[in-house]
Chains A and B, each alone.
Chain A
């Protein structure tokens, strides 16, 4: 049961619950509203709002998600009133004297944080903006000014952009939500950095992650439940190639649901995890789920909903629905919807999910066979303008023009960041610059490595909007890259090959390719164009074809 009313002009949802009082204040504010150059803004507001709170023996909690920021507490009426009144007071007059301290705390928090396996998918799918920002570190913290944070709080943390929820015996006396006036903020529009879907990228070793954005409906959540069971059965039970395999779903305010699947893999089983997962999805979309399995998932969900509804645990999600313009539904209503879901509905979701999917394959596995398109790591065009050749390698050059900057290798490959599609520029005092495009591609300019490098940097600085600049501290002088004195073969220091521990087999100079154990093409059925096989485990591994820009970038980073 849900009662709805207002408290101090803030819409409120109330579920009567015996036992401890829980309450929360939710705002339509999150990471997806931010920009890369000021990333961390909402998190910072959240921390500033709680800085009054200190150490308490009640259970309070706050979190900034993609779309919603929640302040939540369980405790006595006095605790709840003190907490929520305090949060509102702090939000209407942020304790900006604590800005530097809270920034430091967030920086420390970030260092200690373990990112979830699927986080990189966000950036690959959406780029360096909106819903993609979850895949990036809070690199904007240092650039956030008192005025900036105040304006952000006024825009997002106001009365019209908040919902209160309470699970308890009644509304606690003395609650004063003294929030400033403002406006409800629309749900962010999802950007796409994927020219083609379904697609894949290669991620770190040992883990597979996949997500898909589907139309939001009851069957989407059931699909996630069925997928979870199928993965567990197929990857763990049947093939023994994965230990932790599962799937979740998250509703978004824009009427979509993100289904996410993750699985771990032993190093020697990575390729089988890709195959097993692709086949699980194939079964679900071609054959569908067993109706008994669908019924079991529905039953489990309905029981979970009913319990959560009685305990008031659905309220945070209901508050989010209200904030994003969706109907607030009771456990019974949601359960009734779930019970209409058929195996055919789940199969339809599976087909939709496959078509939208983004797979992050484990590092050592080849996913090119799956029929998924590789996510581009190059730009389709280079800018024209002034060229700055790399010192000691005339194949590589930086071009700075009016529209943007390109790192170009040879005649074919380039990475471009257009100035009007630039998400942020990381700036070192020594002149090092990294431009990050909205599509997530980056161009790094080390002025020490290019002819007239400082001039290139000056031109870039002149074109980039100052608001996109993130100043980084000075580097240890030894870590500032220096141009190569001589090119000698081939201990990775001078070699631009991909082979991390292979030998260099070129006779003439360093730019030669590496021979991994297998790969003199004699035994290898692979398509190594010039013989550079970068598989760790022998011949049939994927080869790095081309990849000069990638290598150039790696080389620049290494230096």
Chain B
């Protein structure tokens, strides 16, 4: 149970399918796990795989994959699990704080993951989950931007508006990975414009602005807020909300809690109490740590304070 019942970060609270998937995996019930995954939309399926992978029992996943290497869900889950083991060793800090031994182990796990994913994407080229997982290994193993783009193109071929892959692409295009803000915003805008109304892809513009804001706020809080309040940025945030969480066609897919928290954060930064309150109302107690933990102070306290402010 959550330590703070009014701010619930556990993904399972928002996504019952994740709870079912995790429990099926924990009891080594592959048909049960597949039933959950098969019922999900392609984007939710990839997100479920991402979220369940870390705790999934490795031996079990290896056996399932060995028994049926043509099972794309098994390959993606095993690949995601091995990636997650590697990333846990590396930690999420900056490279300078990661030891040589940590890096060596990180890369070793990612190479293991990549071998599984090479096989699974060869056997199931039309499954976006395997290709999406290869975006993460592409980042960690530094395959280069063109190779990342090739992998993304294979995801998009399989599922044109695959939100989990699109969020990875935004990461990849950020200056911290050798990209540029121009590339980030162009991709977010194009992906958002191409997506059907009410889809999570419509929220990518907001995600791009948050990444940009975060890069500024580290050094200069005033510059960061000024960036968000630029008329063009402000307008595009409202437009993105109308295209996604605010559209009548919006259906909560896995990832919606993150998107709604991002908008709540942005509207509160913009000083729009009404829009912020509307989002917190829709969320109830559900919350995500990001982007709140990027604001100085404790994420729980920040959420409480902004809810209170918007009320």
Contacts and interface: CB of A to CB of B under 8 A. Distances in A.
Given A239-B150, A521-B94, A537 B145 contact: yes
B139 A527 contact: no
A92 interface: no
B239 interface: no
Interface in A358-392: 364-366, 368-371
Contact of A371 (B114, B144, B153): B114
A529 interface: yes
A522 interface: yes
Contact of B137 (A274, A279, A369, A528): A369
Given A272-B147, A283-B122, A286-B119, 11 more contacts: A239-B153, A270-B144, A272-B150, A279-B118, A279-B122, A283-B125, A285-B122, A369-B114, A525-B177, A539-B178, A540-B142
A282 B119 contact: yes
Interface string A280-299: 00110111000000000000
B184 to A, nearest CB: 14
Interface stretch (B5-13, B95-103, B300-308): B95-103
Contacts, number: 112
Interface residues of B, number: 38
Nearest to B151: A275
B150 A276 contact: yes
A526 B95 contact: yes
A371 B178 contact: no
A275 B95 contact: no
A276 B154 CA distance: 11
Contacts of A542: 142
Contacts of B107: 368, 527
8 contacts: A365-B147, A369-B138, A369-B142, A522-B94, A522-B95, A522-B96, A523-B175, A539-B177
Nearest to B142: A540
Given A283-B125, A523-B176, A241 B146 contact: yes
Nearest to A527: B103
Nearest to A368: B141
A268 B175 contact: no
Contacts of B146: 241, 268-272
A538 interface: yes
Interface secondary structure of B, over-half rule: helix
B143 interface: yes
A278 B144 CA distance: 15
Given A521-B95, A525-B140, A541-B144, A282 B178 contact: no
Contact of B149 (A272, A522, A528, A541): A272
Given A279-B118, A371-B114, A525 B143 contact: no
Chain A: interface secondary structure? loop
B189 to A, nearest CB: 22
Contacts of B176: 523, 539
B96 A371 contact: no
Nearest to A540: B142
Interface in A513-559: 518, 520-529, 537-542
B139 A540 contact: yes
Contacts of A525: 95, 139-140, 142, 177
B58 interface: no
Interface in B153-189: 153, 175-179
Contacts of A283: 122, 125
Interface of A: 239, 241, 268-272, 274-276, 278-279, 282-283, 285-287, 364-366, 368-371, 518, 520-529, 537-542
Given A272-B149, A371-B111, A538-B178, A526 B142 contact: yes
B297 to A, nearest CB: 24
A369 B141 contact: yes
Nearest to B106: A527
Contacts of A520: 96
Contacts of A275: 143, 147, 150-151
A366 B177 contact: no
Contacts of B175: 523
Nearest to A539: B178
A271 B69 contact: no
Given A272-B149, A286-B69, A529 B100 contact: yes
A279 to B, nearest CB: 6
List of 3 A-B pairs having minimum Cβ-Cβ separation, nearest first: A271-B144, A538-B178, A369-B141
Interface string B173-214: 001111100000000000000000000000000000000000
A241 B144 CA distance: 14
Give the interface centre of A268, A279, A371, A540 by most chain B CB atoms within 10 Å: A540
A525 B96 CA distance: 9
Contacts of A518: 178
Contacts of A365: 144, 147
B143 A366 contact: yes
Interface in B63-82: 69
B146 to A, nearest CB: 4
B123 to A, nearest CB: 5
A375 B138 CA distance: 22
A364 B143 CA distance: 11
B144 A540 contact: yes
